[in-house]
């Protein structure tokens, strides 16, 4: 079995039966859950926000992996702490400069959360290197953020490998997460290149064989 964390993205879950979807995750032996937050500005679509999360996270005994695709992440850090996030991942591209990136990371840690930094497919992976000693997680987007169902971008594999090599060279323990177009085939390729976490949405939800699909991701 692969040594990899599966973080199901509930953006693709059935929200009319959300408690059943959470139970599927738990019954499959998964202890992470991924929330994609979109503000309609940083990305075109809008999903749920901090108030929605706050109403449900205290009922979910899973690690809350929250990815905020929003403008001005610094102003929202405290709100997502109050909403129950365990990991809070923001976008490099949402910050003015490296100083602001460090400021957001520090604020996340001050609020007792793990800090993640995400990059879009067009952003060089080297942009995250200055922050590796401060980060708990780097989220590499393998599709353009903001819309599900896109095809996995193959160049992501080289980006994962380059980042994993840098992490080993720096002797840090930053986790690599990958999000977008993940299935049993692309997920296996990502893990081979060094990914630690697979964010999986449409491949898992909306099918009758949830557990079997998890097993295929882990085999």
The fraction of the chain above a pLDDT of 70, given in percent, is 97
pTM of the full predicted structure?
A: 0.94
Sketch out the chain's domains with CATH numbers: 5-218 (3.20.20.70)
All residues at 6 or more sequence positions from 111 whose CB lies less than 8 Å from its CB, including other chains: 77, 78, 81
Query: Which of these is catalytic: 36, 39, 136, 196?
Result: 36
36 classed as catalytic: yes
For the stretch 36-89, pLDDT in tens is: 998 777 877 777 778 888 888 878 999 999 999 999 999 999 999 999 999 999
Distance CA 95, CA 91 (A): 7
Please report, for residues 96, 118, 122, 178, 180, the alpha-carbon distance to residue 154 in angstroms, rounded to integers and kept in the order given.
29, 18, 13, 12, 11
CA nearest to 72, candidates 47, 42, 44, 46: 42
179 classed as catalytic: yes
Query: Which of these is catalytic: 39, 65, 136, 179?
Result: 179
């Amino acid at each position: 079995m692969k040594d990899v964390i599966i973080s199901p993205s509930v953006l693709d879950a059935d929200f009319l039966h959300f408690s059943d979807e959470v139970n599927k995750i738990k019954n499959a032996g998964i202890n992470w859950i991924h929330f994609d937050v979109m503000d309609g500005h940083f990305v075109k679509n809008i999903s749920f926000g901090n108030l929605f999360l706050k109403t449900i996270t205290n009922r979910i005994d899973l690690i809350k992996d929250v990815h905020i695709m929003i403008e001005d992440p610094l102003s929202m850090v405290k709100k997502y702490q109050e909403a129950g996030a365990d990991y809070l991942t923001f976008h490099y591209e949402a910050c003015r400069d490296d100083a602001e990136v460090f400021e957001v990371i520090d604020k996340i840690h001050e609020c007792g959360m793990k800090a993640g930094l995400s990059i879009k497919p067009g952003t060089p992976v080297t942009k995250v290197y200055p922050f590796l000693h401060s980060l708990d997680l780097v989220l590499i987007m393998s599709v353009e953020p903001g819309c599900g169902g896109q095809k996995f971008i193959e160049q992501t594999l080289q980006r994962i490998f380059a980042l994993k090599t840098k992490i080993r060279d720096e002797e840090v323990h930053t986790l690599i997460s990958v999000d977008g177009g993940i299935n049993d085939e692309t997920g296996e390729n990502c893990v081979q290149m060094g990914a630690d976490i697979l964010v999986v949405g449409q491949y898992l939800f909306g099918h009758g064989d949830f557990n079997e699909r998890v097993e295929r991701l882990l085999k």
